[in-house]
Chain A
Amino acid sequence: MPSRNTSPQTRKHSEADAGLERLADAIEELKPGAVEVIGGFDLTPTLITRGITTAGTDTPAAADFALAVVAATDDHSEQIIDKLKGDGFGRLLLWRLDDGSLAGWISVAASRGYFRAPEQLTVDGVTCVLLSVGEPSAAELVARYEAMLADRPALDQQLTELRHQVLTSRDFAIGAEAEIAGLQADVDRFKAALDEVYSSTSWLVIRRGIAPMGKRLKRIGSRSR
């Protein structure tokens, strides 16, 4: 019987599908004139559904407003790099499906005239970066990267706060666990002591001898009243 567990491949695709919707949202916000999809993952149907024009691979892309979306795993990286050689796209969105870094691709893109775009594209949970074609001066490049780095202290602060929360939560959990274990040990100890009492000769004497006598005395007492 085949396993009903989701295979890594299937899981990767469903993650990609979810990412694809978020990516399409982001592309809509960029208001592109046409999008050419290059690479191994076909974004075209999703874009068409949303009314975004997609350019076929044989159609020359509209120079300024074209957006190339790269959606691929490592298997297709060579193919994508080849496509970049054709240029012709104003902006290029690199989207990586796996967990690897985009740094290598960004550097390849830079060698073909694409650099980080001044505007930033935020897509939750999707590893992507927006590049734009041009030959920026060193000063412009620095300004672009510094603008992006300006967000870093806030992110660092957020990260530190989250790590702090992890520490204190873990401390709390360990403390609670220890407290419960201590209480459980007390319960076990008292239960064992109680069992010992119940199995003792004195307890049996009380139960079988004195207790019935007490009941009898009580009965006699109530009759005499």
Chain B
Amino acid sequence: MTGRTPLFSILTPVYNPSPGVLRETLDSVIRQTHSDWELILVDDCSSRSGVEDVLADASAADPRIRVLRRESNGGISASSQDALDAARGEFVALLDHDDQLAPQALQRMAQAIVEHPEADYLYSDEDKLSEAGEFVDPFHKPAWSPERLRGQMYTAHLSVLRTDLVREVGGFRPGFDGSQDHDLVLRVTEQARQIVHVPEILYHWRVVPGSTAGETTAKDYAWDAGRRAVDDHLRRLGLDAEAHFGPLPGTYRVDRRLPAERMVSIVIPSRGSAGLVWGQTRCFIVEAVRTAIANTEHPNFEIVAVLDTSTPDRVRRDLREVAGDRLVIVDFDEKFNFSRKCNTGFLAARGDVVVMLNDDIEITSPRWLETLVAPLEDPAVGLTGAKLFYQDSTVQHGGHLYDRNEFSHAFLGVQPDSTAAFSALHINRECSGVTAACSAIRRETFEEVGGFCEALPGNFNDVDFSMKVRHAGYRIVWMAHVEAFHFESRTRDPHVNEWEVEAVTRRWGTYAVDPYLPLTYGQPARRSPVRIIGGRVKRRLLAGLT
């Protein structure tokens, strides 16, 4: 390692831990392979016998360990602030009194700081330390995901923050006990020059009954503090939004407001097909438009239906009946090319924002349009997507997943209540890409990336589109609370051609690990033949590519 490595101040508030557990925590610090650290232990008036002895022994044994004692019990925020006030290091690392650091934790962080001298905040992967002493439930975290941080405190442990910046933003705030770290990290990341994810498990979070690691409902006060922290964060950023409790403990739902004047064009390519759904025949596009209109209160939108010229007149009449004056019909008399159809619809659209919607969609979420489109008010967000379900209510799309040299849908086939990948199915978050079956993009971003690639008429055009949006520097946000059924490929041939795979990989290469859902553990094994976006392939087309 070249370059100057920093001094770390490890901040550990202590309140009535098991003395044996506390000793193990301290041992994990002493065993660090990086030696430039100080450990500041703040005893918040522990009454449990043996705690004081462990602290005294530790500080006597190693001059880098300092023990401070509070005169009154002040809670975790006050104790953390006391530790921060005493910190001399360039960076602070947060360690709970019953958890453990991996031996190489500080060394890896020091390396990352040398490699990224502007890093103001660093976080690592983590796992849990079971009562049996085993490391379980690893959490391989996504690359920096500000939207996800609003939905849950995903960066958690190990968090390393530049001390000056922590002080500049006001340190630990009283009134946020239990989510004091979430509140701090939100404030620090608002100002940070660079945020670095170290993709290695450097922290072991002990599962103790009553701790948030073991039982997420155990600390309702922490959940509420987290919600207030996110709400404050939204206000500081000037976002017209509000934080609510999410569907699972420890998760939050951010509701943004869409300005009424924002004109939205919903572009739906179709040929007016009909099919059987839940035992009843339906015309797909008519039902898609009906549910899209029924589930929004946004006043300012149009429906741009790009219809094959062969579309039956009856379908056109039904569409007019459902959509009225909002309907714009664009005739398409060329051979099937989904990309070209979408581009044609875009060229006829008048909206500030364009929503691409497949005709075999049935919207089920109230205010879907507002929720899907509102994040685009943030100029850093380029594209948003939705949560889609198959007819049997299993998940069809939880964002795209680009890993193991394949392009696939995340959470494909899982049950809707799955908590895999740390509840990633229930929170808004950044992702590698989203399906064009239900997505939203600003007009100028669509133009900037050149629309959909017409050389990809059937499959992977949304993968390519997503890649272009990210290539242009925008974030893609998957919206967990915009839900719809997707009767996928009921209206076209689901076959994927090798040349299509080659075309998209020639442009963008492939991913060994998805940056936003890395090491997709917790997901069901892939079916055979491999299920990939757009349909089925006969073999692993991309196996062996790097």
Chain A residues in the interface with B (C-beta under 8 A)? 160, 163-164, 166-175, 178-179, 182
> Smallest Cβ distance from A148 to chain B, in angstroms?
23
Inter-subunit contact B450/A170 (CB<8 Å): yes
Inter-subunit contact A174/B508 (CB<8 Å): no
Inter-subunit contact A167/B507 (CB<8 Å): no
Q: Is B453 among interface residues, defined by CB-CB distance under 8 A?
A: yes
Q: How far is the CA of A178 from the CA of B509 in the complex (A)?
A: 9
Inter-subunit contact B449/A170 (CB<8 Å): yes
Q: How far is the CA of A167 from the CA of B347 in the complex (A)?
A: 10
Inter-subunit contact B453/A164 (CB<8 Å): no
Inter-subunit contact B450/A164 (CB<8 Å): no
Inter-subunit contact A174/B468 (CB<8 Å): yes
Q: List 29 A-B contacts (CB under 8 A).
A: A163-B347, A164-B343, A166-B447, A167-B346, A167-B347, A167-B447, A167-B450, A167-B451, A168-B343, A168-B450, A170-B448, A170-B450, A170-B451, A171-B449, A171-B450, A171-B451, A171-B452, A172-B450, A173-B450, A174-B449, A175-B453, A178-B467, A178-B471, A178-B508, A179-B506, A179-B507, A182-B506, A182-B507, A182-B509
> Smallest Cβ distance from B468 to chain A, in angstroms?
6
Q: How far is the CA of A173 from the CA of B472 in the complex (A)?
A: 13
- What B residues does A169 contact at CB under 8 A? 450
Q: Is B454 among interface residues, defined by CB-CB distance under 8 A?
A: yes
Q: How far is the CA of A169 from the CA of B449 in the complex (A)?
A: 10
- What B residues does A168 contact at CB under 8 A? 343, 450-451, 454
Q: How far is the CA of A179 from the CA of B348 in the complex (A)?
A: 30
B interface: dominant SS: helix
Known: A164-B343, A174-B468, A178-B467. 11 other contacts (CB 8 A): A163-B347, A164-B344, A167-B347, A169-B450, A170-B448, A171-B449, A171-B450, A171-B453, A175-B464, A178-B507, A182-B507
Interface string of B451-477 (1 = CB under 8 A from A): 111100000000010011001000000
- What A residues does B450 contact at CB under 8 A? 167-174
Name the residue of chain A whose CB is nearest to the CB of B452: A171
Name the residue of chain A whose CB is nearest to the CB of B447: A167
> Smallest Cβ distance from A117 to chain B, in angstroms?
33
Given contacts A160-B347, A163-B347, A170-B449, contact A175 B507 (CB under 8 A): yes
- Of B454, B471, B509, which contacts A174 at CB under 8 A? B471
Name the residue of chain B whose CB is nearest to the CB of A171: B450
Closest 9 CB pairs of A and B: A171-B450, A170-B450, A167-B451, A178-B507, A175-B507, A171-B453, A182-B509, A160-B347, A167-B450
Interface string of B223-263 (1 = CB under 8 A from A): 00000000000000000000000000000000000000000
> Smallest Cβ distance from A101 to chain B, in angstroms?
21
- What A residues does B448 contact at CB under 8 A? 170
- What A residues does B506 contact at CB under 8 A? 179, 182
Task: Give the total of B residues in contact with A, Cβ under 8 Å.
Answer: 21
- What B residues does A166 contact at CB under 8 A? 447
Name the residue of chain B whose CB is nearest to the CB of A189: B546
Q: How far is the CA of A196 from the CA of B110 in the complex (A)?
A: 26
> Smallest Cβ distance from A185 to chain B, in angstroms?
8
Name the residue of chain B whose CB is nearest to the CB of A161: B347
- What B residues does A163 contact at CB under 8 A? 347
Inter-subunit contact B451/A182 (CB<8 Å): no
> Smallest Cβ distance from A93 to chain B, in angstroms?
34
> Smallest Cβ distance from B505 to chain A, in angstroms?
9
Name the residue of chain B whose CB is nearest to the CB of A186: B509
Question: Which residue among B450, B451, B506 has the maximum number of chain A CB atoms within 10 Å of its CB?
Answer: B450
Q: How far is the CA of A172 from the CA of B451 in the complex (A)?
A: 10
> Smallest Cβ distance from B415 to chain A, in angstroms?
37
Given contacts A160-B347, A163-B347, A178-B508, contact A171 B471 (CB under 8 A): no
- What A residues does B471 contact at CB under 8 A? 174, 178
- What A residues does B507 contact at CB under 8 A? 175, 178-179, 182
Interface string of B467-499 (1 = CB under 8 A from A): 110010000000000000000000000000000
Question: Which residue among B346, B454, B468, B507 has the maximum number of chain A CB atoms within 10 Å of its CB?
Answer: B507
Inter-subunit contact B347/A164 (CB<8 Å): yes
Inter-subunit contact A171/B467 (CB<8 Å): no
Interface string of B502-526 (1 = CB under 8 A from A): 0000111100000000000000000
Name the residue of chain A whose CB is nearest to the CB of B504: A175
- What A residues does B467 contact at CB under 8 A? 178
> Smallest Cβ distance from B349 to chain A, in angstroms?
11
Q: How far is the CA of A39 from the CA of B449 in the complex (A)?
A: 46
> Smallest Cβ distance from B132 to chain A, in angstroms?
44
- What A residues does B453 contact at CB under 8 A? 171, 175
Q: How far is the CA of A173 from the CA of B449 in the complex (A)?
A: 10
Name the residue of chain B whose CB is nearest to the CB of A160: B347
> Smallest Cβ distance from B63 to chain A, in angstroms?
43
Q: How far is the CA of A182 from the CA of B507 in the complex (A)?
A: 7
- What B residues does A174 contact at CB under 8 A? 449-450, 468, 471
- What B residues does A167 contact at CB under 8 A? 343, 346-347, 447, 450-451
- What B residues does A179 contact at CB under 8 A? 506-507
Q: How far is the CA of A178 from the CA of B344 in the complex (A)?
A: 25
Q: How far is the CA of A179 from the CA of B467 in the complex (A)?
A: 12
> Smallest Cβ distance from A3 to chain B, in angstroms?
34
Q: How far is the CA of A7 from the CA of B347 in the complex (A)?
A: 38
Name the residue of chain A whose CB is nearest to the CB of B348: A160
Name the residue of chain B whose CB is nearest to the CB of A170: B450
Q: How far is the CA of A64 from the CA of B65 in the complex (A)?
A: 104
Q: How far is the CA of A66 from the CA of B507 in the complex (A)?
A: 63
Q: How far is the CA of A169 from the CA of B468 in the complex (A)?
A: 14
- What A residues does B347 contact at CB under 8 A? 160, 163-164, 167
> Smallest Cβ distance from A163 to chain B, in angstroms?
6
> Smallest Cβ distance from A1 to chain B, in angstroms?
40
Q: How far is the CA of A163 from the CA of B346 in the complex (A)?
A: 10
Q: How far is the CA of A174 from the CA of B452 in the complex (A)?
A: 12
> Smallest Cβ distance from A7 to chain B, in angstroms?
32
